[in-house]
Homo-oligomer: A and B are copies of this chain.
Amino acid sequence: MSFTIKKALIPTENGYTTTDLRIEGDRITAIAADLDPVGEVIDGQNKLLLPGFVNAHTHSSEMWQRGMIPLYPLELWIEELHEFSPLEPEQIYLSALLTAAETLLSGGTCVVDHLVWIPGKELESVAATVRAYQEIGIRAFVGPLIQDETQSKGIPDGGEDRELEEYHYSTQQVLDLMQRVIEDFHQPEAGIEMMVAPTGIQLCSEDLFKGCVELSDRYHVCRHAHLLETKAQQLLAQEKYGFSAVEYLKQIGFLGDRTSLAHCVWLDDRDIEILAATHSTVVHNPLSNLRLGSGIAPILKYRQAGVNVSFGCDGAASNDGQDLLEVLKVGSFLHNITDSDYRQWIAPREAVKMASEGGYQGIGLESEVGSLTEGKQADVVLYDLTKLSLLPRTDPLNLLIMGCPNNVVDSAWVKGEIVVANGTPTRIDLEDLRRKLFEQSEWTTNRKSAHVAQVEQHYRSVMNLPK
């Protein structure tokens, strides 16, 4: 199928131009004024055309827990997360569909899903997720969240001698599962890729990390992990290695130009140099970092050091909204209070570049996708600039990123296929999804977690909080 988008506004180096853009097959084949109409003609007047963004870190199944978990730091929050996780592959399918829909309707064309799978139903979880992404037509990178250490190991000992359970799978069992996932589901040509995605240094052994590196090299899949999201994890790295977690990841070969690392809040200048030298990507998750009180990631420093930075919503249990435009807004404004020199601040035009070019760079696709360039794959989004929330008319990119846009995505294409038209996904029934989500859930309040109570005292003691 071909499309000719007529008279859309697109950003130039410093301003805007009005132009036509042609999509044939999966590619952008022409960008010029007054193109002959080929295929379906799309009216681009008073619309802004941008490359799609990558939602570069989320956990789709957490959709079932949005609005559920009270205000806790990560280490307590995660106890509730595991206690109330969905247990049926059908739920995993629906939450992946919702994640994809909210990503597409806020400017994203690709989702990186650090998937919390169902214990004992791991392959079914991945199958349900992949099915959802293929149905709705979004590009997706799926990296099951793997670990080989029990949850409580994620909190520093703080000198205490704790007796902790063994994890329910051995390291080898986890790696075997991961290999099976890659062999069964990795289909780059279809826009569905698997990733190796150990949870992070807090819950993974060295053997697990090394096994992941080996799988990544053997199958040429991307690597993904959480990195130093909280101060507790920084303390833990000191307990575990006696030196920086970033230095550790470098030594065992996990870093590289196909490695993206979520959060990166507690890194120092030496760590930042390592990320730059290894061409690793930082995924900025500003809203969950606020909700969980993790801190402000030093994003201006990353940019000054030449580290690639992209944006992620993070899972809906820690950023209960899942709107990429909100993430770009808060994720750029937030740094204005960390450096008084406004010349360092992230302008909307830069944020858009980070979310698109930076996003695809973090998953190794920068030469194929991520900008409005002839020959690149057509993962593009058309925004309706006549919506009330984008009026009066001033600077379109400023309105989009600094404002609070409401239902402004008009159309979106992934690999040349139209997946959103007239503000709604074309290939699924959004109303049917809405009804199922309503029917399969119920109002809750003040769910009390037994697990939180178990670890809270230890956590408060280690973090020097009042009893």
A167 within 8 A of B: no
What secondary structure prevails in chain A residues at the interface with B?
A: loop
Partner of A398, one of B320, B395, B402: B320
Provide the residues of chain B in CB contact with A16, threshold 8 Å: 443, 445
Taken together as a complex, chains A and B put the C-alpha atoms of A337 and B290 apart, in Å, by 6
Q: Are A340 and B402 in contact (CB under 8 A)?
A: no
A408 to chain B, nearest CB (A): 11
A418 within 8 A of B: no
Taken together as a complex, chains A and B put the C-alpha atoms of A329 and B102 apart, in Å, by 18
A292 within 8 A of B: yes
Instruction: Write out, one digit per residue, whether chain A residues 264-304 have a CB within 8 A of any chain B CB (1) or not (0).
Output: 00000000000000000000000101111111100000000
Stretch at the interface among A154-162, A242-250, A386-394: A386-394
Residues of A near any B CB (own CB < 8 A): 9, 14-16, 63-68, 70-73, 76, 98, 101-102, 231, 287, 289-296, 320-323, 326, 329-330, 333-334, 336-337, 339-342, 345-347, 386, 388-396, 398-399, 402-407, 430, 433-434, 437-438, 440-446, 463, 465-466
Q: A291-B333, A407-B406 are in contact. Are A438 and B231 (CB under 8 A)?
A: no
Taken together as a complex, chains A and B put the C-alpha atoms of A373 and B64 apart, in Å, by 34
| Closest residue on chain B to residue A68 by CB atoms | B394
Q: Are A296 and B465 in contact (CB under 8 A)?
A: no
Provide the residues of chain B in CB contact with A322, threshold 8 Å: 404
Q: A337-B290, A386-B438, A407-B407 are in contact. Are A443 and B9 (CB under 8 A)?
A: yes
Q: Are A320 and B15 in contact (CB under 8 A)?
A: no
Q: 7 closest Cβ contacts across the A-B interface? A: A321-B404, A392-B441, A293-B336, A67-B399, A67-B398, A67-B394, A393-B441
| Closest residue on chain B to residue A341 by CB atoms | B465
Provide the residues of chain B in CB contact with A66, threshold 8 Å: 392, 394, 399, 402-403
Partner of A70, one of B347, B407, B433, B434: B347
Q: A293-B345, A341-B466, A444-B395 are in contact. Are A321 and B403 (CB under 8 A)?
A: yes
Q: A326-B404, A442-B393 are in contact. Are A347 and B399 (CB under 8 A)?
A: no
Partner of A73, one of B342, B386, B389, B392: B342
